[in-house]
Each structure stands twice: as structure tokens, then as C-alpha cells.
Structure 1
């Protein structure tokens, strides 16, 4: 029991230091899978905007 009391501060210190030593992922970094999905979504959005512009131009041509 006495050895457990003396070992407890060492255990707590080791756990705290190991938690602090872990590398954190930098904020603002987008995982590759999400980036690919975002690129695809932007492509679809661009195509939709192009289609809307073409339709608008066609509507303007009709008397």
C-alpha cells in the first residue's frame, strides 16, 4: 500500500508527459478524402452555374 502511494505521483507525471508529448494534427488541414469531395462539389457547382447562365441566355433570345 505504501509503495502504491509513492508510485502514484510518478504514474501521474508519466501520464501527463505522455499526453503532452503526443503530436497534434495542425488545425485547418483538410484530410485528402474531404478535399477530393470538396473539389468534386465545386466542379458540380461550376457546371450548374454554367447551365443556369446558358438557360438565362436562351430565355433572353426568345421573343
Structure 2
């Protein structure tokens, strides 16, 4: 869905990441944390000046639907 929306999909959050779509999380898979490791990495990069937009899954879907 992301690729069909014109985005390039990456496996990791890097300094080249500009958008992170976060979906509903299964709490049991977060190892006691509130956010995924990708979300935490994105926040770390944002903290040092990287411009990354973090969107929830439903917000992203609403951007794709005309």
C-alpha cells in the first residue's frame, strides 16, 4: 500500500528516512516498551535534527484515499 502510494519502502529507519508509518502495535511484541524500535530510532534521529514525519496507520491511509 505504501509503495503504491508513491513511497520507497525501507527495512530500517536511517538518516534517509523521511516518513515512518506506525501501525497498531501488539504490546506483547514490544518487549515492555510503548513504541517499536523503529519508532524509537526515528525519535532519536528527529532529536538530532533529522526531518522525519511519524504518522499513524489510519492517518496515512486517509492520505492515500482520494
TM-score by length of 2: 0.25
Identify which of structures 1 and 2 has the higher relative contact order when contacts are C-alpha pairs closer than 8 Å and 6+ apart: 2
Q: Which has the higher helix share?
A: 1
In terms of Rg, which structure is larger? 1
